Amino acid sequence: MGKPFWETTALAAMSREQWESLCDGCALCCLQKLEDEDTGELFYTDLACRLLDLESTRCQDYQHRSKRVKDCLILTADEPGALAWLPRSCAYRRLAEGKELPSWHPLRTGDPDSVHAAGISARSLNPVSEREQAEPSLYLKLS
């Protein structure tokens, strides 16, 4: 059997379908983040974007997300600066750093829930929607 596409195709050369399939659905990028002005350290919070469905950890309006949420970052391969805002577990960041996809990634397991079972997703932080709450109650430095 040949190698999977993510081992043979550069991020910038992937089809739209391949690119989208890399997202493991963790939704960590849909949590509000804060950057320490002095140290540059990045902290995740438990406050989720108002468009995030907390149960499925999927965007409720993926197609129009950047129109509805003005600071929603649309990831593209030619904007590597945005990757620094992603968790180290994120496939886009991992592949850009020359790493492999982890064993729990849905593309490896064939199971979209494997990201949750592995405890990687936002679900494990019990996030609250910014529709319900204004301030985070948890600040977490993700390694």
Interface with ligand SF4 by CB under 6 A: which residues? 23-29, 86-87, 90-92
The pair of structure tokens assigned to 7 is 């081992």
Beta carbon of residue 75, minimum distance to ligand SF4 (angstroms, whole number): 6
Compute the least distance from the CB of residue 8 to ligand SF4, in Å: 20
Smallest gap from Cβ 4 to ligand SF4, in A, equals 16
Among residues 65 and 138, whose Cβ is nearest to ligand SF4?
A: 65
SS3 of the chain: helix, strand, coil, percent, to 5: 35, 15, 55
Residue closer to ligand SF4 (CB basis): 29 or 136: 29
Q: Which is nearer to ligand SF4, 49 or 136 (CB)?
A: 49
* 103-106: Cβ within 8 A, 24+ apart: 105/24, 106/24, 106/25
Q: Which is nearer to ligand SF4, 26 or 125 (CB)?
A: 26
d(CA 27, CA 130): 14
Q: Are 91 and 25 in contact (CB under 8 A)?
A: no
Query: Smallest gap, in angstroms, from Cβ of residue 26 to ligand SF4?
Result: 4
Tokens of 77: 């391969």
Tell me the C-alpha distance between 5 and 116, whole Å.
24
